[in-house]
Amino acid sequence: MSDLSWIYSYGYIGTRLFDLPSLFICLLSIFILGYKFQAPRNYQTVLGLHCFLPFILNDVLFKVTYMPDQLKYWRGVNAIRDGQLGVVEAFASGENVLQASAFFSAMPFPTPVSPISLGFYNTFIYIVLFFILYAKNIFTKVSLWFYLLFPSMALYTALSLRETLILFFMILAVVYARESKIFKSIICMVPIYLIKFQNFYIVGPVVLLYFVFNVAKKGMGLTKALIIGIIGLISLIASAPIALPLVNTFRVAMFVEDGGDPNDIKLISGAGDFVLQGLTSGFYFLSKPLPWEAASALQFIQSFENLAVLGILFLITRQAWRKSPDRLAFWLLFLALSMSVYGLVVANYGTAVRYRYGFVVMYVLFVCADCNITQLRSKKTIQKNTQPNTKALKH
C-alpha cells in the first residue's frame, strides 16, 4: 500500500479541506431526503450539525490513536480502493476489519484521505438510517429525540469505526421482522455475521423470536418471557464447564486488545462465579463507568451520560410496563441478554460504552415503537399536576 502519511503535511486545516466533498454529500443528503419525506426543519438542523462532528473529534477532542482501530479501517478501505486488495478477497479473509472495510469501500464517497474521512461515511449511514426509521413510522417523539441527541451515538457515528455499520444492519433486521419480511431480515443478518459475529448470535435469536411471536402486534406474554428466562438460566448453569474457558479467553483477549496487561484482568473462577457474573454483569455493563471509575476526561463525561441514560431507560420502561407489559417483556429479555453477554467479556470502560450504545438505541427505538411511548411522564401524572384546585376556587 502507498504511504498514507502524506496527508499530515497539510496541517490541521489542510487535512480537513480534503474532506469537504464528503461533508457536502452528507449535507446534500439531508436536504434531499428531508424534502422527500417532509421532515421538520429542526430535525434537519440537528442532522446537519452532526455532519461537522468528524472535524472536531479526532486530534481535537482526543488523539486518533485513542481509538487505534480507526487507522485499520482507513488503511483497509484505501487498500481496496487502490486495487491492492479485492472485495471478494477482503470478505474471504475472515478478518472483521477487512470485511467492514469492504462495505465502506462500496459507499459513494471519495477515497478516505485521512483517519477522519470514514467518519463522514458513518455520518451518511446515520442520516440514511434516520430517514428510513422516519419514513417507516418507527420513531415516536421520545425515541426520535433520543436518536438525535444521545451523545454516545453522536460520537461513535462520527468516528472511523465499524459500529455504525453494525447498528444499521441490526436495526434493519428488526424493522423487517416487524413487517414480517423475514427474507429481508435474514439478508440484513449476513453483514452482522461477517462484521461482528457476537452480535449475530444475540440479534439472530431475537429476530427469530420477534417474528415467531409477532411481538409488535401481540407481545410475548409475561409467562413466556419468564419461561425463556428460566431456560436461559438453566442453560447458563449447564454450559458453565464448556463456556467458562471460552469466556475467560475472550475476556483476556479483549482486555489485551484494549491495551491492558493480561495479568491485571480478573478471570471468572468457577461455575458459581460464572452464574453470578452472568446474572449481575448485565446491569454493571449497562452502567459503567461510574464517575469514580473514570480514568480519563472522556470517561468522566460518559459516566454522567450513563446516569442520565439510565434515568431515561427507567422512565421509558415504566411507561411501557403501564401500557403494554407483554411487549415490554420481550425487549427486557433482549436488553438483559445483550448486556450480560458483553458484561461477561468486556472489562475496559471505554469499550463498554462503545459496544453498549447500539443495544441501548435499539431498546429505546423498539420499546417506544411497540409500546407507543410518546412521552417520558404518564398522562395521569400530568393531569394530576395540572388539575385545577377546586377547593381553592371555592374560597
Digitized pLDDT (tens) for each residue of the chain, 395 residues in all: 456 776 666 777 777 888 999 999 999 999 999 999 999 999 999 999 999 999 999 888 888 888 888 999 999 999 999 888 899 899 888 888 999 999 999 999 998 988 899 999 999 999 999 999 999 999 999 999 999 999 999 999 999 999 999 999 999 999 998 888 889 999 999 999 999 888 888 888 888 877 777 666 666 666 766 777 777 667 666 666 766 777 777 777 766 666 666 666 777 776 677 777 777 778 888 888 888 777 777 778 888 888 999 999 999 999 999 988 888 888 888 898 888 888 877 877 778 888 899 999 999 999 999 999 998 877 654 444 444 444 443 43
pTM: 0.87
Please tell me the chain's helix, strand, coil percentages from 3-state DSSP, rounded to the nearest 5: 75, 0, 25
Q: What type of residue is 44?
A: Q
Which pLDDT score is estimated for 389? 46
Which pLDDT score is estimated for 379? 62
Q: Hey, where are the domains in the chain?
A: 5-204, 217-382
Helix axes 118-135, 20-37, angle to 10 degrees: 0
Query: Is-contact 376 314, C-beta < 8 A?
Result: no
Q: Which residue, among 120, 113, 100, has the nearest Cα to 57 in the 3D structure?
A: 120
Alpha helices in 179-296 (DSSP H): 182-195, 197-213, 215-218, 222-257, 271-287
Q: 192 Cβ partners below 8 Å, 6+ apart?
A: 166, 169, 170, 173, 199, 200, 203
**b vs e for 53-74, b when ≥16 Cβ sit within 10 Å of the residue's Cβ?**
bbbebbbeeeebeebebbebbb
Query: Is-contact 373 319, C-beta < 8 A?
Result: yes
* CA–CA distance, 31 with 41 (Å, rounded to integer): 10
Q: Is the peptide bond before 151 cis (omega within 30 degrees of 0)?
A: no
* CA–CA distance, 122 with 351 (Å, rounded to integer): 18
Question: Phi and psi of 240, rounded to 5°?
Answer: -50, -50
